[in-house]
């Protein structure tokens, strides 16, 4: 369980500023991506940088997290499901996670935003403000969006050609708390159906 704590903290640190809306059709049917999730030091939360790999196929997603000093964790999610699976690779345990039990402020953790990057276009159009200019991220030209909820501000660099975010940055009271940066994106990357299943030999449990 100790190895899972950084992965849980990483999931909980993701932006929570939007509700859930359907994904749009322009998103590639499958893709792979690599990036870094950066939890910035804040209060008792230490700074951490976690390399991630993303595999997506028809609403299913696999996130591979390599937390420094804590081993590998894998998150499996599926569009439309209210729970996701968190696997501890070293201990070979697969936990079914209910986001309702992970919140700390009375609000459900928006698991769809974490495991379904394809939902962001509708979220931004409904809740966000488009800023002037554009930037290139992971080889994609991105429009820049911003949203505010209370003291939390979320900024998103959105690749319009593929309807996916390439960078997400969240701040509280003006201080950056979380940054997810996609460094490479491949809409033709190889994605096997077995990537979205819990492997044989894993013990399954609720958490």
In three state form, how does the secondary structure of the chain look?
A: CHHHHHHHHHHHHCCCCCCCCCCCCCCCCEEEEEEEEEECCECCECCEEEEEEEEEECCEEEEEEECCCCCEEEEEEECCCCCEEEEECCCCEEEEECHHHCCCCCCCCCHHHHHCHHHHHHHHHHHCEEEEEEEEECCEEEEEEEEEECCEEEEEEEECCCCEEEEEEEEECCEEEEEEEEEEEECCCCCCHHHHCCCCCCEEEEC
Number of structural domains the chain divides into = 1
CATH code of the domain covering residue 103: 2.50.20.10
Given a cut of 60, whether residue 207 has pLDDT beyond it is: yes
Q: Which two tokens stand for residue 69?
A: 């000093």
From the number of C-beta atoms within 10 Å of its C-beta (0-12, 13-18, 19+), residue 91 rates as middle
Q: Which two tokens stand for residue 83?
A: 């729970």
pLDDT in tens, 57-93: 988 889 898 877 777 889 898 877 878 899 988 889 9
User: What per-residue confidence (pLDDT) applies to 115?
Assistant: 58
Q: 34 is in which domain, residue-wise?
A: 2-206
Q: What are the CA-CA distances from residue 60 to residues 52, 77, 143 (Å)?
A: 16, 6, 25
Question: Which has the minimum average pLDDT: 25-39, 98-112, 114-128, 179-193?
Answer: 98-112
Band of pLDDT at residue 45, cut at 50, 70 and 90: confident
pLDDT in tens, 136-180: 999 999 999 998 888 889 899 999 888 888 999 988 888 998 898
Please choose, from the candidates 15, 207, 10, the residue with its C-alpha nearest in 3D space to the C-alpha of residue 110. 15
Do 170 and 17 touch, CB atoms closer than 8 A? yes
User: What per-residue confidence (pLDDT) applies to 20?
Assistant: 34
């Amino acid at each position: 369980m100790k190895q899972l704590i950084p992965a849980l903290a990483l999931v909980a640190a993701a932006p929570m500023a939007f509700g859930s809306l359907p994904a749009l059709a322009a998103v590639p049917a499958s893709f792979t991506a690599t990036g870094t999730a950066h939890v910035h030091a804040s209060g008792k939360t230490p700074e951490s940088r976690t390399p991630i790999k993303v595999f997506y196929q028809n609403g299913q997603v696999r996130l591979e997290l390599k937390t420094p000093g804590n081993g590998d964790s894998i998150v499996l999610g599926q569009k439309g499901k209210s729970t996701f699976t968190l696997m501890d690779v070293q201990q070979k345990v697969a936990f079914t996670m209910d986001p309702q039990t992970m919140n700390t402020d009375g609000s459900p953790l928006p698991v769809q935003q974490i495991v379904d990057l394809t939902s962001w276009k509708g979220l931004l159009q409904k809740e966000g403000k488009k800023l002037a200019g554009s930037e290139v991220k992971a080889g994609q030209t991105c429009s820049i969006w911003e949203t505010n909820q209370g003291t939390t501000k979320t900024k998103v660099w959105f690749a319009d050609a593929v309807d996916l975010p390439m960078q997400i940055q969240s701040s509280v009271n003006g201080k950056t708390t979380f940054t997810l940066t996609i460094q490479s994106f491949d809409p033709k990357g190889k994605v096997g159906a077995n990537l979205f299943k819990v492997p044989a030999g894993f013990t399954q449990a609720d958490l």
